[in-house]
Amino acid sequence: MRIEQLTHAVGAELTGVNLADAVHDDGLFVEIRAALLQHRVLFLRDQELSRAEHVAFARRFGELEDHPVAGSDPDHPGLVRIYRTPEQPNDRYENAWHSDATWREAPQFGAVLRCVECPPVGGDTMWANMVLAYETLPAHVKTEIADLVARHSIEATFGANMPIEKRLALKAQYPDAEHPVVRTHPETGEKVLYVNVFTTHFTNFHTPERVRYGQDANPGAADLLRYLISQAYIPEYQVRWRWKPNSVAIWDNTATQHYAVMDYPPSHRKMERAGIIGSKPY
């Protein structure tokens, strides 16, 4: 297996590897897992994976989960279909910086995404290294956010354009989650800046040190949250990947955020994602 770093910040391309082999080859899987923790996103070309092999490879990292809004392949539970075709022009969820499912109590550990069909040009995906984003924050910001907790909501995002009954039913099934703004990576011990498009507000900002009058709370907190969320937009933390059919990306969903660039309609883009269940952030 050869590993070629793609940017200084994040991402490496693996060559000389067939992911289907890693379903049964423990040594190969251990190497891939170690590379993932080091480079945070791994990219591979020409992976002729069947759907069953895709799921079996991702299952080596942990249990898979479906998505309450995006449907899964009926024959392969856990394999979420991210299909954008002229028949689904308004389904635009993935072109915002996010890490998957932070609205869950235990957001995903990672994901394995395969390109089934891609536009002739466009439809790239970008990732940002949120460990580097945290490390590079000014010292006074690190102090300010050290103990902050924030709310993450599926209702405010996937639910936003639903009729109210459907939106409230979604919220009842998936209540908002609260996570530390600075999370510790469970495998590497690194600190991660952990707010994204699913984050609605801080839940413990309102202290006498920060808030003199009620009016201070919202502008102060909202500006700080917007600033923190915008760190993922900084190009020096990013990598951008051009898809071809049978290209695969494997990402560490704790340490990174991603953004699928929606510059290709009316062309089709069909991706399949196996999302791996993670642990409660601390």
What residues act catalytically?
98, 100, 258, 273
Identify which of residues 80 and 224 has a Cβ nearer to ligand SIN in the complex.
80
Asked if 82 interacts with ligand SIN (CB under 6 A), we say yes
Distance of CA 252 to the CA centre of its chain: 8
The answer for residues whose C-beta is within 8 angstroms of residue 215's C-beta and 6 or more apart is: none
Asked if 130 interacts with ligand SIN (CB under 6 A), we say no
Distance between CA atoms of residues 279 and 179, nearest Å: 11
Check residue 76 and give left, alpha or beta (phi > 0: left; psi -120 to 50: alpha): beta
Q: Among 9, 197, 260, 276, which residue sits at the site for ligand SIN (rule: CB under 6 A)?
A: 260
What's the closest the beta carbon of residue 113 comes to ligand SIN, in angstroms?
6
Smallest CA-to-CA distance from 19 within 75, 62, 76, 58 is with 58
**Max Cα distance, the chain (Å):** 61
Alpha-helical regions (H) of 82-184:
130-135, 139-145, 164-173
End-to-end CA distance of the chain: 34
For residues 261 and 95, is the Cβ–Cβ distance under 8 A?
Answer: yes
Q: Among 13, 100, 155, 252, which residue sits at the site for ligand SIN (rule: CB under 6 A)?
A: 100
Q: Among 258, 272, 276, 278, which residue sits at the site for ligand SIN (rule: CB under 6 A)?
A: 258
Identify which of residues 112 and 132 has a Cβ nearer to ligand SIN in the complex.
112
Asked if 125 interacts with ligand SIN (CB under 6 A), we say yes
Asked if 250 interacts with ligand SIN (CB under 6 A), we say no
What's the closest the beta carbon of residue 271 comes to ligand SIN, in angstroms?
4
Identify which of residues 49 and 82 has a Cβ nearer to ligand SIN in the complex.
82
Q: Among 156, 272, 273, 281, which residue sits at the site for ligand SIN (rule: CB under 6 A)?
A: 273
Residues contributing to the site for ligand SIN (CB under 6 A): 82, 94, 100, 113, 125, 258, 260, 271, 273
